[in-house]
Structure 1
Amino acid sequence: MNIINFINRFPDESSCIEFIKEQRIQQGIVCKKCAGIKHYWLENKLSFQCASCGFRTSIKSGTVMQSSNLPIRTWMMAITFITATKKGFSAAELQRQLGMKRYEPVFRMYHKLRVVMGQRDERYRLEDMAEYDEAFVGKATKAKVRSQLKRGRGSQKQSKVAVMAESTPLEDPESGKVDKSCKYFKMKKIKNLEAKTAQNLIKEYIDSDSVLQTDKSTTFSDLSDCIDVHVREISGTDKGKFNLKWVHIAISNLKKHLHTYHMISERMMQNYLDEFCYKLNRRYFGQKLFDRLIIASIYPYWYDCG
């Protein structure tokens, strides 16, 4: 959804409240006190009241907006800006677009939405054929110690990221040329490049019946306990580039994406990875991405949304 459509659809706070109220009613509200499912709407309190025990659930309760003093329309407008572009959108730019005086509330709001994106994608496991590789991306380091850190691969100036992609070979019936299509991606910040780290990630996020493709790094020398079929190729060869095509594309795009943000701390890195993957996994959703993230934000912890 672009900003013009948003303004036409949600001209004021009341229209946003009505939209969130209808979404919550449609998906169902469960009383935290007695687990009752029948509720009455209290207009003057902006809350749902349980018909069984009288317990009240505010319109923000249980959503990503819980405990936030920001208007619902501000949250929804932020989601509009974030989902309207495939590229990165910094918190400073979001602050300017929202016309807010303070940076900290915008920063916290943006990261809460990134957490929601990550929680949604945790539900997916990669299947059939999967690629796995590791990458290094720049992170914020203190100026006093930056000059003392080593450069290049494995530098302390960089975060280590595991990249996984679900890919399927496709053959053109006319030319006979084989290419790959890709469905889902996963990216996880990791502490080290040890074999045990890779094994744990593969067990958690890739179906054991899949065909796994990696390079010939010693990290991947023994994955027999994690996967049924493991194909190892030197990534510098033409065949190797084909096998790891999508993880390499994703790594390249990730690095470009992160250039939008000037200083990303090690602690927050996973949130940025989650946002990148959430958008990448829904790259064909178009205008629907706004509604999907809205629903995910209303039920961030348990609801099975898109």
Structure 2
Amino acid sequence: MEVVPSLKRKTLIDFAKRQSHLGSIISSDVYRSYRKLEDKGYKHESQLYNPKKSPDHLHWLDTVLSNAKALVGGIFHWLSSRHLQSYLDEFCYRFNRRKHEGDLFSRLPHHCIGVKTITHRKLVEACMQSQELFV
């Protein structure tokens, strides 16, 4: 998942280039901006979304979005647009490991050992720099 600035054609095409291979099949609703994907080398399947007539079309998208909304409402209660990508990254991490919840705690020491330690000073400096970007 990635925060994008708009749903304009160029934005969606750039996203598709970063996240998929040419020739990939992209399923979507009938939003106009998706139409240009075929001109750029993707196979595009669009369908007016109706879960009663076609329950499998975009089923996983509905599942992921409803789980993301539940995470926001149940844990965060509110989102800051400034940190939206971080929230999405955490959601994806949790969603991709949803069937291995029992392993999350036991894997924590493994991941802590595998990363470079950051000092408090460097953490504060990084936070200050990121704040300057959003002012």
TM normalised by structure 1 equals 0.34
Equivalence for 1:261: 76
Equivalence for 1:245: 59
1:220 aligns with 2:34: yes
Structure 2: tracts of 5 or more residues without a match: 117-135
Q: Which amino acid aligns with 1:271?
A: S
Equivalent-residue separation in structure 1 for 2:111 and 2:10 (angstroms): 33
Q: How does 1:81-120 map to 2 (within 5 A)?
A: none
Instruction: Please list the CA deviations of residues 10-34 of structure 1 after superposition, one character each: whole Å capped at 9, or x if unmatched.
Output: xxxxxxxxxxxxxxxxxxxxxxxxx
Equivalence for 2:11: 197
Equivalent-residue separation in structure 2 for 1:294 and 1:189 (angstroms): 30
Q: How big is the shift at 1:275?
A: 0.9
Aligned identity (percent) is: 29
3-state SS of the aligned residue for 2:12?
helix
Relative to its length, the structure with more strand (as a share) is: 1
Instruction: Please list the CA deviations of residues 253-306 of structure 1 after superposition, one character each: whole Å capped at 9, or x if unmatched.
Output: 1111101223321111111111111011111223222344443444458xxxxx
3-state SS of the aligned residue for 1:193?
coil
Label 1:279 to 1:232 Cα distance change in 2 as closer, same or farther (>3 A): same
Q: Which amino acid aligns with 2:65?
A: I
Equivalent-residue separation in structure 2 for 1:217 and 1:299 (angstroms): 43
Q: Which amino acid aligns with 2:22?
A: S
Q: How big is the shift at 1:252?
A: 1.3
Q: How does 1:1-306 map to 2 (within 5 A)?
A: 187-224=1-38, 225-227=40-42, 229-236=43-50, 238-239=53-54, 241-259=55-73, 260-300=75-115
Q: State how many pairs are aligned.
A: 113
Label 1:296 to 1:242 Cα distance change in 2 as closer, same or farther (>3 A): same
Instruction: Please list the CA deviations of residues 147-186 of structure 1 after superposition, one character each: whole Å capped at 9, or x if unmatched.
Output: xxxxxxxxxxxxxxxxxxxxxxxxxxxxxxxxxxxxxxxx
Equivalent-residue separation in structure 2 for 1:217 and 1:291 (angstroms): 44
Equivalence for 2:131: none
Instruction: Please list the CA deviations of residues 110-152 of structure 1 after superposition, one character each: whole Å capped at 9, or x if unmatched.
Output: xxxxxxxxxxxxxxxxxxxxxxxxxxxxxxxxxxxxxxxxxxx
Equivalent-residue separation in structure 1 for 2:72 and 2:31 (angstroms): 26
Instruction: Please list the CA deviations of residues 207-239 of structure 1 after superposition, one character each: whole Å capped at 9, or x if unmatched.
Output: 334322111101201102152x21111112622
Relative to its length, the structure with more helix (as a share) is: 2
Larger radius of gyration: 1
Label 1:254 to 1:222 Cα distance change in 2 as closer, same or farther (>3 A): same
Equivalence for 1:170: none
**Is contact 1:216–1:232 with CA below 8 Å preserved after alignment?**
yes
Equivalence for 1:78: none
3-state SS of the aligned residue for 1:267?
helix
TM normalised by structure 2 equals 0.71
CA RMSD of aligned residues (A): 2.1
Label 1:270 to 1:294 Cα distance change in 2 as closer, same or farther (>3 A): farther
Q: Which has the higher contact order (CA 8 A, sep 6+)?
A: 1
3-state SS of the aligned residue for 2:80?
coil
